[in-house]
Amino acid sequence: MKSIRIEIKLENCIGCGKCVEICPTNVFPTTLIGYISSIPEIEHEKCNGCGKCVEVCPYKAIQIYEISR
């Protein structure tokens, strides 16, 4: 069984919230908007792997991985 994992590179993320707005499954918490200093809780099990968050991120701060369980 495979699942999706999302990684946010905090050194690249400016907290613009574009990923929060575009995500069709609400994977990202709204607390991601604004300055962040730690990795937020991401609801990985909700991710459908569409990649919209990766495409919309202007700083390439998001990566999606498919992992085997």
The CA–CA distances, whole Å, from 20 to 10, 25, 45, 55, 68 equal: 15, 10, 16, 13, 26
Q: Domain range holding 52?
A: 2-68
DSSP state of 63: E
As for how many domains the chain has, the answer is 1
Position 46 pLDDT exceeds 70:
yes
* Average pLDDT over every residue of 56-61: 94
Position 1 pLDDT exceeds 90:
no
Where residue 37 sits, what CATH number does that domain have?
3.30.70.20
- Global pTM reads 0.81
pLDDT tens readout for residues 12-40: 988 888 898 899 999 987 766 565 555 56
